[in-house]
């Protein structure tokens, strides 16, 4: 899985007996072997895991320190045949001092030792009584059994084949400090940070600690793996819960259940390529880098895994949690409406023109105008909502459009476009029975012309309805529905549109409005440019032509948000969408790539529209792309 940038990491909170190094070491070895069977690449244990964190003045006993060193050597011996990298905690004597250290082991060898920098000595902590800070060390190497081992905070462990797969270490209080060592570690190339910790529990500390890990992983654009001492530590004055977390760029991927007396493990695949792509995009990331000398230690991550455990949401634009989704919809709807309100204020026009088809996109745009007018104190009568029946309009969408407009007391206009389109088709010598792209686009452009001309007449703004997914595929008529004076849905993907519309419906007290919107939600997606079937129902289904929007939104998100290769997108899509065959996913991914590249010319001249999420296709904002770039290499990537 190294090809796709995946590294499987684990955080383990082992069962422990305070000061019983033999017992602790046996459990550590057992858990390392357990992790190895799960194909885990790197495993992390808590701070001072060989001795226990709460040994207090026993850390000044030679017997404990001697036993800890013996046990460290035993771990090396017992894991000599394993490829897994283990990070354990132990006190280490060096240069007339005792240091609280993280020890990195692979194939029976100690690759490096990282001493703790910030030694807490306040409230319930008295570590300075026993341990020295890394800033007090004299040399950057120490000897154990005549082996010269790097001994410094400034170590980056790098995969010998792929330098992007790299990690560094900090210990407990280091994270809580004003300037954590991981700031420099990540600026100097570490994509993963491991933290061996002993964080006790008091009221409110759990959430604070969790947010700290999330924010540090976000600020440093890294993965952050955290393992803290468990409930088997001494409870003379404190309780430790054994909190373990795996975070990536501000998101907690995995978290354990605290207060477990038994050994427990969490593990997840870290997407290193995703992390690095975020860093490449963020040109402020490398703004200030301290000149620090780093020791680079080679590690060997074996590429023998055939699968990953990581799961991806099939709806990356839509929060799966009901409460978060409601909050997100409220925020987005507010952004859309406020942006439109600002444009209305700036132009001095207090009227908007919109084409309402009875479909999802125009419904959302209409509701956004209603909210913008509410913010500005403008009557809904100044919303000039136009329904324009054409060759494919069905009674269901027509009635829903009429009911929606009337229920909000907007100004309703109906302009049937059939006659004008027939005249136009005759003028350009096009057979009316030839239902090709010319037949379809004639209707789209006729509707746009009507909207623009009425806007001129009324001194109003034409509000666009097209969404992000349509722009990504170029599924819009150039200078037809492609054009408007302000586009409120321009960065809303199709999979999110329905939830925004549903959000408004569920907060609506008017029964006619609510029922109308809910029926629109239940209507198949269609431009209705081709005649209905014999039963008067929609015959032209968009997804029959362009493929499932759930797939395209998934492709778009990973392609643009993280710069994922088509091959990687195909790999994770196969894991995510079990209801589609591999052949279907491949077919629509190739379709997406071709359309995304060939339709850029439409995106190069889209109207203004507000960005609401992490992805926008505006040529003035997020996407600078040639209109004539070739897509062959991207297609070939899937086939290789």
Give percent above pLDDT 90 in the chain. 90
State the pLDDT confidence band at 535, using cuts at 50, 70 and 90: confident
Is 101 a known active-site residue?
A: no
Q: What is the pLDDT of residue 545?
A: 84
Q: What is the pLDDT of residue 526?
A: 67
State the pLDDT confidence band at 541, using cuts at 50, 70 and 90: low
State the pLDDT confidence band at 348, using cuts at 50, 70 and 90: very high
What is the mean predicted confidence (pLDDT) over 281-298? 88
Q: What is the pLDDT of residue 581?
A: 96
Q: What is the pLDDT of residue 332?
A: 97
pLDDT (tens digit per residue) in 213-261: 999 999 999 999 999 999 999 999 999 999 999 999 999 999 999 999 9
State the pLDDT confidence band at 3, using cuts at 50, 70 and 90: confident
241 φ, ψ to 5°? -105, -15
Q: What is the pLDDT of residue 533?
A: 75
35 neighbors 265 (Cβ within 8 angstroms): yes
Q: What is the pLDDT of residue 538?
A: 66
> In the chain, what are the domains?
2-288 (3.60.110.10), 322-639 (3.40.50.620)
pLDDT (tens digit per residue) in 556-565: 999 999 999 9
3-state secondary structure of 177: coil
Task: Write the CA distances from 557 to 46, 172, 308, 583, 596, integer angstroms.
Answer: 36, 35, 20, 21, 13
**b (16+ CB within 10 A) / e for 152-190:** bbbbbbbbeebebbbbbbbbbbbbeeeebbbbbbbbbbb
Please name which of 155, 175, 96, 105 lies closest in space to residue 131, comparing C-alpha atoms.
Answer: 96
Nearest 10 degrees: Cα torsion 164, 165, 166, 170: 120
By 3-state DSSP, what share of the chain in percent is helix, strand and coil, each rounded to 5? Answer: 40, 20, 40
Please state, in angstroms and rounded to a whole number, the distance separating the CA atoms of residues 296 and 156. Answer: 5
The whole-model pTM stands at 0.92
Q: Which two tokens stand for residue 562?
A: 């993280």
Q: What is the pLDDT of residue 74?
A: 98
pLDDT (tens digit per residue) in 575-630: 999 999 999 999 999 999 999 999 999 999 999 999 999 999 999 988 999 999 99
- Which one of the listed residues 116, 214, 498, 602 is annotated catalytic? 116
Q: Which two tokens stand for residue 132?
A: 């020295």
More confident residue, 152 or 546: 152
Q: Which two tokens stand for residue 254?
A: 């995995």
Is 124 a known active-site residue?
A: no
Q: What is the pLDDT of residue 536?
A: 73
DSSP 560: I
What is the mean predicted confidence (pLDDT) over 100-111? 98
Is 352 a known active-site residue?
A: no
Burial of 45 (0-12, 13-18, 19+ CB in 10 A): buried
Strand partners, 169: 194
| CB contact set of 284 (below 8 Å; sequence gap of 6+) | none
Q: Which two tokens stand for residue 561?
A: 């948000």
Please state, in angstroms and rounded to a whole number, the distance separating the CA atoms of residues 395 and 400. Answer: 8
- Which one of the listed residues 71, 76, 101, 172 is annotated catalytic? 172
pLDDT (tens digit per residue) in 152-200: 999 999 999 999 999 999 999 999 999 999 999 999 999 999 999 999 9
Separation of CA 285 from chain center: 18
- Any idea which of 119-128, 218-227, 408-417 has the lowest mean pLDDT? 119-128
State the pLDDT confidence band at 539, using cuts at 50, 70 and 90: low
103 φ, ψ to 5°? -115, 130
3-state secondary structure of 248: strand
What is the mean predicted confidence (pLDDT) over 369-388? 98
Q: What is the pLDDT of residue 303?
A: 85
State the pLDDT confidence band at 21, using cuts at 50, 70 and 90: very high
3-state secondary structure of 470: helix
Task: Write the CA distances from 503 to 218, 253, 401, 507, 594, integer angstroms.
Answer: 29, 27, 19, 6, 34
For residue 445, pLDDT beyond 90 = yes
Q: What is the pLDDT of residue 543?
A: 79
- Which one of the listed residues 47, 201, 268, 528 is annotated catalytic? 47
State the pLDDT confidence band at 2, using cuts at 50, 70 and 90: confident
């Amino acid at each position: 899985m190294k090809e796709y940038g995946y590294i499987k990491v684990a955080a383990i909170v082992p069962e422990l007996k305070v000061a019983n190094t033999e017992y602790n070491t046996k459990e550590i070895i057992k858990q390392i072997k357990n992790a190895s069977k799960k194909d885990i690449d790197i495993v992390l244990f808590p701070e001072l895991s060989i001795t226990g964190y709460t040994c207090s003045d026993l850390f000044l006993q030679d017997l404990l320190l001697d036993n800890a060193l013996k046990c460290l050597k035993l771990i090396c011996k017992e894991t000599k045949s394993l490829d897994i990298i283990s990070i354990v905690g132990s006190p280490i004597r060096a240069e007339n001092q005792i240091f609280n250290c993280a020890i990195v082991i692979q194939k029976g060898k100690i690759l490096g030792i990282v001493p703790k920098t910030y030694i807490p000595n306040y409230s319930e902590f008295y570590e300075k009584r026993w341990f020295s800070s890394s800033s007090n060390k004299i040399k950057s190497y120490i000897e154990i059994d005549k082996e010269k081992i790097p001994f410094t905070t400034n170590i980056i462990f790098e995969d010998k084949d792929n330098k992007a797969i790299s990690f560094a270490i900090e210990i407990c209080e280091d994270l809580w400090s004003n300037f954590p060592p991981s700031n420099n570690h990540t600026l100097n190339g570490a994509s993963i940070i491991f933290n061996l910790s002993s964080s006790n529990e008091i009221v409110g500390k759990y959430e604070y600690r969790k947010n700290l890990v999330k924010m540090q992983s976000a600020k440093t654009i890294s993965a952050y793996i955290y393992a803290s001492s468990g409930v088997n530590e001494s409870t003379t004055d404190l309780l430790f819960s054994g909190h373990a977390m795996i975070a990536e760029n501000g998101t907690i991927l995995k978290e354990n259940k605290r207060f477990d007396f038994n050994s427990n493990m969490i593990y997840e695949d870290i997407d290193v390529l995703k992390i690095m792509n975020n860093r490449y995009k963020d040109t402020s990331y490398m703004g200030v880098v301290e000149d620090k000398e780093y020791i680079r230690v080679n590690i060997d991550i074996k590429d023998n895994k055939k699968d990953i455990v990581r799961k991806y949401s099939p709806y990356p634009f839509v929060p799966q949690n009901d409460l978060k989704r409601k909050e997100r919809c409220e925020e987005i709807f507010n952004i859309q409406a406020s942006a439109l309100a600002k444009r209305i204020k700036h132009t001095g026009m207090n009227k908007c023109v919109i084409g309402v088809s009875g479909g999802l996109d125009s419904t959302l745009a209409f509701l956004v105008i209603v909210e913008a007018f509410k913010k500005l104190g403008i009557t809904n009568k100044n919303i000039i909502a136009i329904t324009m029946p054409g060759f494919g309009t069905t009674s269901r969408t027509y009635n829903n459009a009429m009911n929606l407009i009337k229920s909000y007391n907007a100004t309703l206009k109906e302009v049937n476009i059939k006659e004008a389109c027939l005249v136009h088709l005759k003028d350009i010598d096009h057979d009316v029975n030839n239902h090709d792209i010319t037949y379809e686009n004639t209707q789209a452009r006729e509707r746009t012309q009507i909207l623009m001309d009425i806007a001129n007449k009324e001194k109003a703004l034409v509000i666009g309805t097209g969404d992000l997914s349509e722009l990504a595929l170029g599924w819009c008529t150039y200078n037809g529905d492609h054009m408007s004076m302000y586009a409120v849905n321009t960065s809303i993907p199709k999979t999110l549109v329905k939830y925004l519309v549903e959000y408004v419906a569920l907060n609506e007290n008017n029964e006619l409005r609510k029922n109308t919107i809910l029926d629109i939600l239940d209507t198949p997606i269609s431009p209705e440019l081709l005649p209905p079937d014999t039963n008067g129902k929609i015959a032209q289904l968009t997804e029959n032509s362009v493929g499932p929007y759930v797939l395209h939104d998934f492709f778009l998100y990973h392609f643009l948000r993280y710069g994922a290769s088509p091959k990687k997108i195909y790999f994770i899509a196969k894991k995510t969408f079990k209801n589609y065959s591999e052949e279907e996913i491949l077919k629509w991914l190739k379709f997406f790539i071709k359309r995304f590249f060939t339709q850029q010319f439409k995106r190069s001249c889209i109207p203004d529209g507000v960005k609401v999420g992490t992805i926008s296709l505006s040529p003035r904002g997020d996407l600078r792309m040639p209109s004539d770039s070739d897509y062959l290499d991207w297609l070939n990537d899937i086939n290789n």
